Structure 1
């Protein structure tokens, strides 16, 4: 999804913040998925540090011919006075050369003008984008992902020890974008679900005033237990793990 979404003006700000944060809240494990990914169902609360803005549920489950990765965000509390309805991102995935690659990506939210669908035709090396502006086709380069499932690839890189990660994507605006991440040490982090030793991963944006920091917990099969988004050093959004089911919750 577009990394600039949280800063769109108007009522879409709160929903875009929740949706952008949840897109990074991915996790990993074993069991019939490319190493080290696993199926899961996770729940998060989204706040600005003090006020709850909404909730998010994220899942990675088997699907016909592959896997279905989906997130559902809904505003709550004061935010629900300005935003109603659900924001949904989903990607259909297939295994390929030890990775997952997208076949269909969908992004929908209450502002239907933001809805985007991308169909990935790997045989033809083409991605068809459908949005409010119409239909267009992009050349599909090797290893290009949608911006949502790119976090699964990021976790694979981090879990195997890669310090710097670059991932080519098509974002939720149907545009090309390269996501860059770097490992930044280990920290103990407390969230409603517990306290965990984590690996800190920072999103690299050169020349930008925004920061995104993700804390992954190896003991939970690399679940993202917290994600902070900051602008000019001030916290603008925080996603924290409140519940987890599946293999990740049973790992040691």
Structure 2
């Protein structure tokens, strides 16, 4: 469960247009729920929520609760909270916090962008490095990709704030497939990692949802997310 920080795919696209220019083109609020499976077996449930916050920012949360197996026995849960501003069609990072709770070892990580600098606190370790324009972080990356796909992108590259640096990560549309999840059956586009990192696939219906209907990743375990319900504006 320590790796089920869900939907953390690494993506990117930096546009220099003002956020107001695309106010009608980017999502303002929604709630999406998913079933989480490991090796095809139920593991937990995840809820993603986007809502407006103060000072023109948005809050994006991702909460996962273990409901089966060892994850349930340990009371394992993961919470990720991001604050960002829409910089054109990019959810540009302002801050991020990760918290993993369980009966074993809890874990926290925070990231704050201040004055062109990224400050990271990973449990007891601290890191500082320069920020990049149009920079996103792992929690909002799938959202950034969904917005890019809706705009017609076939391949995207984002500067991503990770633990010790800004990392450029690339994704591409690899094909179209019919996908069945609890929310229904969809004609989706499959997106895969396009750089040296492998083990990630996501299926989007960009004309309908800004987040994947299905996501599968092997990094940290054979994890799959399947959309159950989406409510949004």
**Common topology (TM > 0.5):** yes
Superposition RMSD in Å: 2.4
State the 1:67 CA deviation.
0.7
Q: Distance in 1 between matches of 2:146 and 2:159?
A: 15
| Mapped partners of 1:72, 1:140: distance in 2 | 26
Gaps of 5+ in 1: 1-13, 25-31, 248-252
**Counterpart-to-counterpart distance in 1, 2:202 and 2:164:** 24
Where does structure 2 lack aligned partners over 5 or more consecutive residues?
Answer: 10-21
- Distance apart, 1:221 and its partner CA: 2.8
Moved more, 70-79 or 145-154: 145-154
1:224 positional shift = 0.9
- Shift of the alpha carbon at 1:96? 2.8
**Is 2:10 the counterpart of 1:22?**
no
Decide whether aligned partners of structure 1 residues 195 and 49 sit closer, same or farther in structure 2, where only a CA change above 3 A counts. farther
Q: Following the alignment from structure 1 to structure 2, what is the Cα–Cα distance between the partners of residues 79 and 148?
A: 24
TM-score by length of 2: 0.83
Partner of 1:29: none
Q: For residues 194-216 of structure 1, give each alpha carbon's deviation from its aligned partner in whole angstroms, at most 9, with x where no partner exists.
A: 1111111112342x5x4211001
Q: Check the 8 A contact 1:225/1:240 in 2, yes or no.
A: yes
Cα 1:73–1:163 shift into 2, 3 Å: same
Structure of greater relative contact order (alpha carbons < 8 Å, 6+ residues apart): 2
Alpha carbons of structure 1 residues 100 and 230: separation in structure 2 relative to 1, 3 Å: closer
Structure 1 residues 223 and 126: alpha-carbon distance in aligned structure 2, compared to 1, 3 A threshold: closer
Confirm or deny that 1:58 pairs with 2:48. yes
**Structure 1, 97-106 or 179-188: larger mean CA deviation:** 97-106
Paired positions, count: 217
CA drift at 1:81: 4.8
Alignment counterpart, residue 224 of structure 1, candidates 192, 199, 212: 212
Matched, 1:127 2:118: yes
* TM-score for both structures, normalised by structure 1: 0.77
Tell me the CA shift for residue 85 of structure 1.
Answer: 3.5
2:161 maps to which of 154, 158, 170: 170
Measure, in 2, the Cα distance between the counterparts of 1:204 and 1:35.
26
